[in-house]
Amino acid sequence: MKITIAGSGAMGCRFGAALFDAGHQVTLLDGWRAHVTAINQAGLRVTDATGTRVIAVAAQGFPDVTAVADTAQVADLVIVFAKATATAAVAAAANAVGAIGPSTLVLTLQNGLGNIEALLAYVPAARLLAGTTTLGTELLGPGRIQALGSGETILGPLPSGSAPAVTATEAAELIAATLAAAGISVRVVPNALAAIWAKVAFNCVMNSLCSIGSIPVSALARYDGFDALAGSILDEVAAVARAEGVTVDTAAVLRLMRAQFDPSASGDHLASMLQDLMHGRPTEIAHLNGAIAARAAARGLPAPVNATVSRLIGLLEATWSSRVNRLRQDPA
């Protein structure tokens, strides 16, 4: 199968490496030139519990339309892993380099809200699948990632609004079988939106709180008020989701978060939002807590906790370079 990974950061590289090892023709498409160059010159270096291995997978930068005529091949599957802030740009790049054809399946496993709407400009709903993944992965530098712990990937078709979309369900099953054969734990759900909203709820708590506290996931277990604070965020998320026709099981989301505190799972993982702050990159806050606050306001619903969390992350984005390092403080 010809597979393009659109947005080949930490998670995109992890999936790309697994699919390449399983025998698929994989191309990593990304806008970070140093990353693309490192992969093409020395391979993708993947570090996990067993050590470090080098994957000789191909990478392509965008926009690189000048080389399209000679090198572009329509993909059977495009998996989008870009940050939500870059979805439109990455989708446009995948389209420009010829990866998206008339029968290409597109799967988004991104965080946040708004990705589906951006992708529908390039692929019809019948060929757009969506889902989430809880695999923990960190980008160590150009061409280098670290795969942390285990996790599950969930995917499915978009709601059709009428009779079930049989072809979309079959496509979801095909993609799931492909991922499973590559060693990725995966299951298919009948409605992708429920899974996406559950992950949004998860990230509105975990990504944001870990970023505000500048702590790894497992450190949240030390805070006795975690359940109460998480509950306040989750209740607002669930209310907005309910207004949009989706049910979020907040108790199940809370259980999933607590399971991540174990270092053998993703406890030592640094949340992607915190990694963005540390590297001076824009965060996805506008597509998480910020999106909840905005959608709540549009519907006349209260969401003061998510609005405050969004503003706090905005404060960190604007001032991170001035952050006081604990090691610089007087130990006395």
CATH of the domain at 47: 3.40.50.720
Q: Are residues 55 and 133 in the same domain?
A: yes
Q: Tell me, yes or no, whether 330 lies in a domain.
A: no
Q: Are residues 164 and 277 in the same domain?
A: no
Q: Tell me, yes or no, whether 295 lies in a domain.
A: yes
The H-or-E segment that residue 196 falls in is helix 192-213
Q: Are residues 216 and 172 in the same domain?
A: no
Q: Are residues 252 and 145 in the same domain?
A: no
Which pLDDT does position 70 carry in this prediction? Answer: 46
Q: Are residues 182 and 77 in the same domain?
A: yes
Give the residue, 331 or 191, on which the prediction is more confident. Answer: 191
Average pLDDT over residues 151-165: 75
Q: Are residues 100 and 16 in the same domain?
A: yes
**Cβ-contact 139, 117 below 8 angstroms:** no
Q: Where are the beta strands (DSSP E) in 247-292?
A: none
For the chain, the domain total comes to 2
Q: What is the pLDDT of residues 18-31, one digit of tens each?
A: 999 999 999 999 99
What dihedral do alpha carbons 33, 35, 38, 42 form, nearest 10°? -140
Q: Which CATH number characterizes residue 310's domain?
A: 1.10.1040.10
Q: Are residues 184 and 202 in the same domain?
A: no
Please list, residue by residue across 219-244, b when 16 or more beta carbons sit within 10 angstroms of its beta carbon and e when fewer do: ebeeeeebeeebeebbebbbbbbeee
Q: Are residues 117 and 211 in the same domain?
A: no
Q: Are residues 294 and 277 in the same domain?
A: yes
Q: Tell me, yes or no, whether 329 lies in a domain.
A: no
Q: Are residues 8 and 156 in the same domain?
A: yes
pLDDT confidence tier of residue 324, bands split at 50, 70 and 90: confident
Q: Tell me, yes or no, whether 332 lies in a domain.
A: no
The CA-atom distances, in angstroms, between 190 and each of 79, 104, 123, 241, 275 are: 19, 21, 20, 17, 33
Q: What share of the chain is helix, strand, coil (3-state, %, to 5)?
A: 50, 15, 35
Which pLDDT does position 165 carry in this prediction? Answer: 54
- Looking at this protein, which amino acid is placed at residue 226? F
Q: Are residues 205 and 96 in the same domain?
A: no
CB-hemisphere CA count at 13 Å for 324?
A: 4
What range does the domain containing 182 cover? 2-190
* pTM of the predicted protein model: 0.86
Looking at 167, 190, 213, the residue that finishes a domain is: 190
CA 272 to chain centre: 9
Q: Are residues 201 and 318 in the same domain?
A: yes
pLDDT confidence tier of residue 326, bands split at 50, 70 and 90: low
